[in-house]
């Protein structure tokens, strides 16, 4: 089962609907040529706009089925609503974290060290997942209050304190940063990493979740500097071949055998009481280098 995402941006609803219909037609042609199928009932359509009524928007069709617009859609674990408030996503994350904590026996079953490990290693990563997309949704007062409920369960399970204890004091005592700040920290780290890898692209840099990179660069000039990082490149087809020759073939000829089309070099190293040494030997060119690298 594969998931695809089609995104069209425009100012006029009729133009955007036409572009979506053209993209869906391309999907139909590709599926027909590859023998694949797409379930229209599992296809979500969301218009990210502040307008309440889209009178000129024509609902597109996929395999003769009209796609109905919805208020939200879940893609790769992130719930996106039409206004991009991420309120539903925050609610889902808080509910999932509370269920995980109660399922793990927090705050009544496990020891303090185990509860702290579960909270740091499992529950917090599940909350901060894809925080770069939805971090603006946790900066409101209501979202911070909901996230504090998860922090309260964790603090009570780690310290064994009474429910009436001041949670902020307990968090300072056990050095747990607030979840809303942690989400923003993870989002900043992800934005800086994507920019360093030249994978960062945005339409409006000063609005929405893209504004976090601007605030990061304004906080310290060091984030405007280049970094020594490279994007990994994967080669699934080997760029070399292995030639297996017998010992007799190597001893009969001087230099490299005819089967070896390139230069043949050998490296070796050894460590003894006297020290450590390295030797490089090129059979094809008849060169030998050996030197010590110290103790």
The per-residue pLDDT for 89 is: 92
Q: Which residues contact 30 (CB under 8 A, 6 or more apart)?
A: 36
**How is residue 295 annotated by DSSP?**
-
Which runs of consecutive H residues, i.e. helices, occur in the chain?
Answer: 13-34, 87-103, 112-118, 124-128, 131-134, 141-159, 167-174, 179-196, 211-219, 247-252
The per-residue pLDDT for 225 is: 78
The per-residue pLDDT for 183 is: 92
**How many Cβ atoms are within 10 Å of 45's Cβ, its own excluded?**
16
**How many Cβ atoms are within 10 Å of 135's Cβ, its own excluded?**
24
Radius of gyration, CA atoms only, the chain: 30
Q: Which residues contact 112 (CB under 8 A, 6 or more apart)?
A: 157, 158, 159, 160
- ω into residue 238 within 30 of 0, thus cis? no
pTM: 0.70
**How many Cβ atoms are within 10 Å of 184's Cβ, its own excluded?**
21
The per-residue pLDDT for 182 is: 92
Over the chain (295 residues), what is each successive 10-residue block's mean pLDDT?
80 87 89 84 85 82 85 88 89 90 70 86 91 89 90 85 82 88 90 84 73 82 79 80 74 66 76 85 79 78
| Residue 227 to residues 192, 197, 230, 233, Cα–Cα distance (Å) | 10, 9, 9, 18
Sort 107 into a burial class: Cβ within 10 Å, 0-12 / 13-18 / 19+. Answer: buried
Q: In whole angstroms, give the CA distance from residue 156 to residue 149.
A: 11
The per-residue pLDDT for 1 is: 59
Sort 234 into a burial class: Cβ within 10 Å, 0-12 / 13-18 / 19+. Answer: exposed
Both structure tokens of 92:
């889902």
Q: In whole angstroms, give the CA distance from residue 200 to residue 210.
A: 9
Q: In whole angstroms, give the CA distance from residue 295 to residue 291.
A: 12
The per-residue pLDDT for 107 is: 57
Q: In whole angstroms, give the CA distance from residue 3 to residue 9.
A: 20
Q: Which residues share a beta bridge with 289?
A: 280
């Amino acid at each position: 089962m594969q998931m695809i995402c089609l995104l069209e941006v425009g100012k006029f609803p009729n133009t955007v609907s036409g572009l979506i219909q053209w993209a869906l037609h391309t999907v139909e042609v590709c599926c027909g040529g590859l023998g694949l199928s797409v379930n229209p009932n599992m296809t979500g359509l969301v218009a990210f706009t502040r307008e309440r009524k889209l009178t000129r928007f024509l609902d597109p069709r996929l395999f003769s089925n009209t796609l109905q617009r919805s208020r939200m859609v879940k893609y790769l674990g992130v719930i996106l609503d039409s206004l991009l408030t991420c309120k539903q996503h925050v609610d889902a994350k808080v509910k999932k974290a509370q269920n995980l904590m109660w399922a793990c026996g927090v705050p009544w079953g496990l020891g303090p060290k185990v509860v702290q490990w579960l909270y740091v290693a499992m529950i917090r990563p599940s909350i901060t997942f894809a925080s770069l997309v939805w971090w603006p949704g946790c900066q409101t007062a209501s979202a911070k209050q909901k996230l504090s409920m998860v922090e309260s369960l964790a603090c009570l399970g780690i310290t064994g304190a009474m429910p009436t204890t001041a949670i902020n004091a307990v968090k300072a005592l056990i050095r747990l940063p607030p979840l809303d700040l942690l989400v923003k920290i993870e989002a900043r780290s992800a934005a800086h990493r994507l920019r360093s890898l030249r994978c960062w692209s945005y339409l409006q840099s000063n609005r929405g979740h893209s504004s976090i990179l601007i605030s990061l660069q304004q906080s310290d000039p060091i984030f405007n500097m280049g970094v020594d990082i490279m994007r990994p490149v994967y080669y699934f087809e080997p760029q070399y071949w292995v030639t297996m020759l017998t010992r007799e073939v190597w001893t009969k000829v001087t230099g490299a055998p005819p089967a070896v089309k390139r230069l043949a070099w050998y490296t070796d190293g050894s460590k003894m009481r006297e020290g450590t040494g390295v030797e490089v030997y090129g059979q094809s060119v008849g060169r030998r280098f050996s030197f010590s690298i110290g103790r």
